[in-house]
Structure 1
Amino acid sequence: MLNKSTIKEVLDISLPAVGESICYTLMSIFDIMMIGNYGGSTAVNAVGISSEILNTCVNIFIVVGISIGITSFVSRSIGAQKKSSADEYASIGFLLGFIFSIFICCILFKFSRNILFWAGAKGNVLNVSNNFTKIAVVAVFFNMMTNVINSILRGYGNTYAPFLIAVFITVVKLLLDVILIFGIIVPELGIIGLAIASVGSQGVGFIAALIYFLKKSYVKIRFKYIFYLKISKVKNILLLSIPSSMEDAAFGLSKLLCTFIIMHSGNIAFASNQIANTIESISFMPGMGFGMAATTLVGIKVGEKNYKKAREYTYACALGAVLMMGFFSIVFLVMPGILVNLFIDEGEKRIIYLASLCLFIGAFEQPSIAISTVFASALKGAGDAKTPLVISLATSWIIRLPLIFYFIHFLKLSVIYVWWVTVIQWGIDAILMFICFEKKLGAKNRLYQ
């Protein structure tokens, strides 16, 4: 079913997207690693709970919200050879992304302490986390706008520029982290230094992305499309973006609520879960990268009404994601303790033990995450964001959240049960995504044969 040319096309678009995702994840991992070695479990908890909230907002409203809508419509316009339509969707998407980003950041800044308190942060953790969040919100704005620009570039198959921008941001961030957290050259700033480093790196990254976009992008922002908005085009983007946002919200908010449940069970459980999640997050990147490629490639082929090729691209993306994430499964099975020791002082033996067990269990969910991510992304590329939303609602709120609440809050069991629940959730999620994709694209393929 898969030929060499298909695999090559998929890899040409997927690998830079995977690299981009890995860069951002490594940046987060090194953040936790450095702040954990600097301030121990208290610092990990403060930065961890803030980062969970900020990243959830970015993902829900921009990364899998507005950005998915932009990529899908730009790619389908390119596939249908309607360059002016691609420009129009890019222009409207950029405006919507800017409005959403400003609004979200204002809310996060104004109500940061209330949100963190509701999340379970108390005492010194609450104070430190609030100070971190107030500064990091500025970085979030730049991050959101960079994602909007990248979504336009991906829409016509350009994943190399977002990758290079990610490399640039990561290098700047890590340099600033070392300088500002540990006081090299300047006074030691600790967690506040981490927040300032985020603002600096995301700011220069956004400027670099904007300059490249204005000078080099094939799809352009045209101010005439902003000044004379077509409500139908705005509605099209929102009708795809909102269900996509709600899908990630269904998963992200359930995950956030689970994080709050774990936090209420104690600092050791929370720190263990946070470290294991941080390490595991690197394994998600192939799934995200191949998912981005699936959205673009399926969108272009659906625009051409070539549904057979759209299915072929999706299967190639799924195979690549499963193979790469399967490699991480083996690593998590073989050396979880070694990985955890990189993030926390050797004296925190209970945290090291629990985090290692969580990571070991996480190995079993990697193939399911790969399949779910790619087939959900392919459905969105085809213009169907409602099906992934329904599936995510079901698996997150009917399976994940109730079971974790029962095991952790009522039975007071170990945090490792959280990870067994997610293994079950992702398995069911993957099966449902695959079935729904086959029903939609298979039917279209038979219709246009």
Structure 2
Amino acid sequence: MATKKEIKEILNLALPAVGEMLLYMVVWVVDTMMVGQFGGKDSVSAVGLASEIIYTFSNIFIAMGISIGITSYVARSIGAKDFEAAEKYASQGIFLGFIVALFISLILFTFAEYFLIIAGATGNVLFLGKIYVKFASIGIFFNMFMNVLNTILRAQGNTKTPMIGASIIIFINILLDWILIFGKLGFPALGAKGSAIATTIAQITGFIFIMSYYFSQKILNIELHDIVNFDKQIIVNILKLAFPASLQEAAFDISRLISIFMIMHLGTVAFAANQIATTIESISFMPGWGFAVAATTMAGQMVGAKDFESAKRYTNIAALFAVAIMGTMSILFLTIPHLFMRAFIKDADVIAVGILCLMVASIEQPFMAVGMVYGGGLKGSGNTKIPFIISTISSWFIRLPLMYVVIYILKLGVVYVWFVTAIQWAFEGSTMYLYFRKEINKLKGAVKDF
């Protein structure tokens, strides 16, 4: 039975993380709304496609890759009261994050047009998308590096400071969006280009805030010489956990990108409707992400302390809250989808298709919540391989084959694609739950045998 203390700890971790990600979603939503109002479906498609490419790279290698390895090791070290090890994993994680973030940023800047062409972009969508990626590739470096710094704070149990950083980013981004997209206060109207510039300036500002916090608070007593003092074994340990986590995210994100490429073949109306519906749904799964962060941190700390029953209870509490919040979003998607769609675009055809997509999206919300939280619990406990295997099966052996059948063989519309993703999440959520219970029981048995 969960105690008030455990519930409070989960909420203290999860709510700022939920708030942080909701703030990021707000800026993504506002970006899409402003760009859609300014330039219509071509601009929405260009910014949407460019953003998918940029954040796919960021998520695979940093947010759901290196950051997972750092979180698990730092949280478990803190749980075991080994603060020297926590400092070593944090400092080497920062070094690794800097190198990878710089490399990804350069790749995106150099090959922006090629990625968009591979994605199927042509004409005005290609032209606008290329401009967006070029500018945004600069900002994404600072965003990825900041993500690594935030990861260390979360592993310590500090989710409030990353939320404050997100608040600063969102305020600047929205203000500059209004000025640069529409051409206010004497600035020229730049449309999609203005959106990219606004995002980049905001991300640089957020990074400066988090770096300033590190220097002023002396987080884990990390010094510059600790970061540049290369420790091969620590790096290898982080990568051993990060690699399966990266592959898991790659399995999901690349399959999602391929799905988007398939949807591009259904026409601009279908793609714009799908992109807007996806943006709206992104708001709903942010609570799942926030409670997954809490589960990863607390499961890691409890496993480090050899308190496996508490690891299970904390993760169960996180899952219950995530399901409750995302289940509420399911009801809203069923009852008022038209209000969501009309906030983004005026095109009646796009609105009609998007409404149906959101209604189908209501099915997958609870399963998504379960999959995210118990997947987070598995990663916190040190097992990143099982989530990778589960995501690979759900993405590549369920989602993509069924989408191919729906789009190319049955020649059905984009709404049926959302039924496919509901099936995918039903499988993934159920399987993550079962394997998390199995992992905790295995760890408990190993300690008893010892």
Matched with 2:392 is 393
Matched with 2:196 is 195
Matched with 2:92 is 92
Matched with 1:153 is 153
Structure 2: distance between partners of 1:274 and 1:219 = 41
Structure 2: distance between partners of 1:228 and 1:167 = 33
Unaligned runs of 5+ in 1: none
Deviation string 1:213-236 (CA, Å, 9 cap, x unpaired) is 121253243344344422211111
1:219 is paired with a residue whose SS is helix
Unaligned runs of 5+ in 2: none
Q: Is the 8 A contact 2:370 2:433 kept in 1?
A: yes
The Cα shift of 1:447 comes to: 4.8
Matched with 1:437 is 436
CA RMSD of aligned residues (A): 1.1
Amino acid at match of 1:267: T
Structure 2: distance between partners of 1:114 and 1:135 = 16
Matched with 1:425 is 424
Structure 1: distance between partners of 2:287 and 2:220 = 26
Point out the more displaced range, 434-443 or 95-104: 434-443
Q: Is the 8 A contact 1:33 1:344 kept in 2?
A: yes
Deviation string 1:391-417 (CA, Å, 9 cap, x unpaired) is 000000000011111111232211011
Matched with 1:7 is 7
Matched with 2:319 is 318
Amino acid at match of 2:113: R
Point out the more displaced range, 354-363 or 434-443: 434-443
Amino acid at match of 1:256: L
The Cα shift of 1:254 comes to: 0.2
- 2:103 is aligned with 1:103: yes
Structure 2: distance between partners of 1:2 and 1:276 = 36
The Cα shift of 1:84 comes to: 1.2
Matched with 1:74 is 74
Matched with 1:412 is 411
The residue correspondences of 1:21-420 to structure 2 (distance < 5 A) are 21-185=21-185, 186-345=187-346, 348-420=347-419
Point out the more displaced range, 217-226 or 368-377: 217-226
TM-score relative to the length of structure 1: 0.98
Structure 2: distance between partners of 1:445 and 1:181 = 56
1:189 is paired with a residue whose SS is coil
Structure 2: distance between partners of 1:326 and 1:213 = 37
Structure 2: distance between partners of 1:237 and 1:139 = 25
The Cα shift of 1:113 comes to: 0.4
Q: Is the 8 A contact 1:321 1:370 kept in 2?
A: yes
TM-score relative to the length of structure 2: 0.98
Point out the more displaced range, 306-315 or 215-224: 215-224
The Cα shift of 1:368 comes to: 0.3
The Cα shift of 1:190 comes to: 1.2
Structure 1: distance between partners of 2:69 and 2:286 = 21
Deviation string 1:136-156 (CA, Å, 9 cap, x unpaired) is 101111110110110010111
The Cα shift of 1:260 comes to: 0.4
Deviation string 1:63-121 (CA, Å, 9 cap, x unpaired) is 11111111111111111111111111111000100100111111111111011001010
Q: Is the 8 A contact 1:90 1:220 kept in 2?
A: no
The Cα shift of 1:445 comes to: 3.0
Q: Is the 8 A contact 2:333 2:358 kept in 1?
A: yes
Going from structure 1 to structure 2, the CA distance change for 1:412 and 1:220 (only over 3 Å counts) comes to: farther
The Cα shift of 1:188 comes to: 1.4
Identity %: 46
Structure 1: distance between partners of 2:425 and 2:115 = 28
Q: Is the 8 A contact 1:298 1:313 kept in 2?
A: yes
The Cα shift of 1:290 comes to: 0.3
Deviation string 1:294-338 (CA, Å, 9 cap, x unpaired) is 111111111111111111100011011101111111110110011
Amino acid at match of 2:209: A
Matched with 1:17 is 17
